[in-house]
Amino acid sequence: MKPVIIGIAGGSASGKTSIAHRLKEQFEETNSVVIIRLDDYYKDQSHMPMEERVKTNYDHPFAFDIDLVMQQLEQLMEAKPIEKPIYDFVTHTRSRHTEIIEPCDVIVLEGLFVLEDERIRSILDIKVFVDTDADIRFIRRLMRDVEERGRTLESVVSQYTTTVRVMHDLFVEPSRRYADVIIPEGGHNEVAIDLLNTKISSIIQANML
């Protein structure tokens, strides 16, 4: 039986990753849920000098290797393990390390353009959009990029005003119309998370029959 694929989209720092981890934690004992981050599928830029890498518009769909995403999702759907890339946000290219992902009952795919791309949408069983206020998303992104990704305050603000906000309005926000479920408040929305957990439980139980 093919796995169920749940797509979680939303703006940068909207809470997509938090929701994905809340879902996975609920089923940690059964090891039935795996998380795939679209961010790890940014195109490899190891052939480019650093000064060129930093000019990449990471908030445009063209920055992602969707062909590889589809190839590896199809492998998982065929019950085959994958060697998933890991993106290094400090060096602005793929890490030399990879991650082996084993097939399981439920695949949670989370990222900016999970609902924007038609090919990805075509294989999703449940489509989720995380709706969080722009000012909260900006503050979260600012703190994350400075603390975890080694960015300066000035670079984060510049990137947000020149590309992040513009690309969100062009590509991310319009994709909410494809969602089956819209979750306000991100990972703090206990009702929405409980509903998704219930749905995942029913899927796992059906697969065990």
* Domain coordinates in residue numbering, the chain: 4-208
Asked if pLDDT for residue 1 goes beyond 80, the answer is no
Asked if pLDDT for residue 136 goes beyond 70, the answer is yes
Q: How far from 159 is each of 138, 139, 184, CA to CA, in Å?
A: 11, 13, 25
Phi-psi region of 8 (alpha: psi -120 to 50; beta: other; left: phi over 0): beta
Tell me what the pLDDT averaged over the chain comes to.
Answer: 91
Largest CA distance in the chain: 55
**CATH for the 4-208 domain, from 3.40.605.10, 3.30.1380.10, 3.30.450.40, 3.40.50.300:** 3.40.50.300
Q: How far from 174 is each of 20, 83, 90, 102, 180, CA to CA, in Å?
A: 21, 32, 30, 33, 14
Asked if pLDDT for residue 189 goes beyond 90, the answer is no
Give 51's contacts (C-beta < 8 A, 6+ positions apart). none
Run of H or E residues at 140: helix 134-148
Q: With beta carbons less than 8 A apart as the criterion, state whether 57 and 63 touch.
A: yes
Structure token pair of residue 193: 């998370």
pLDDT tens-digit series, residues 51-89: 899 888 989 999 999 999 999 999 999 999 999 999 998
CA-closest candidate to residue 115, choices 173, 69, 190, 159? 173
pLDDT tens-digit series, residues 30-56: 778 899 999 999 999 999 999 899 888
